[in-house]
Structure 1
Amino acid sequence: MFGGGGGGLDSRKMQQMMKQMGIDIDELDAEEVIIKTSEETLVFDNPDVQRMDAQGQETYNVVGSPRTEEGDVSTTEDDESDDGIPQEDIETVADRAGVSEAEAEEALEATGGMPLDAIERLSE
């Protein structure tokens, strides 16, 4: 198939071929990767992660054994405001900006749910 006889390509030849095709692979020193779906959250602790850049399109390869967290996936009304802003964000903004939770929630709504932007907005 590829290369001469002897059972395939060695790592160096494979890297040469990928480079010629415009594909670049980097190893990332990832500590944790989290994948959230509507049904579960998969957490990979200390995974092997490679980033492949092929003609401007980045693809990530994650290798490891995930643990599943089901409790963090669905949120209840107590965990989010009516606009989908996490209660934790509201409390953080209120505490950091020294304002009421209602003011913090309003600032978060105005900034698209971005806590840092909301704090800056309230500090002006």
Structure 2
Amino acid sequence: MRVDKYLWCVRYYKTRTQATTACKKGQVRVNQEPVKPSREVYPTDLIELRKDQINYKLKVNDLPPNRVGAKLVDIYRTDITPKEQFEARELLKYSKDYYRKKGTGRPTKKDRRDIDDFTEENE
């Protein structure tokens, strides 16, 4: 089975096109080597892929006949991604907390005055 089709079947990508694009960009490696989307995958291969700033590592257990449900994915792959990868992403998410919530737009006139008052007090 092709590596792009396998990653789509085990639900790492929503579409085969996304899986193919990731392979072309060099975000997918099989047994430590960058691969083309047409590379064949066999059981016991180790796949590394970078998605959403996480370096996933999986071991191929078996090849699915077609796209499988989320509950059946563990039959076809073993996820050996270190927990530190997920913890680093959580820290990154918390580091992006700002004063204003996302989507609220520019500061209002009152917000601007409050910011000016705050900076004048600290000088």
TM-score range, shorter chain: under 0.3
Higher strand fraction: Structure 1 or Structure 2?
1
Higher helix fraction: Structure 1 or Structure 2?
2
Larger relative contact order (CA 8 Å, sep ≥ 6):
2
Computing the radius of gyration over CA atoms, which structure comes out larger, 1 or 2? 1
Scaled by the length of structure 2, the TM-score of the pair is 0.22
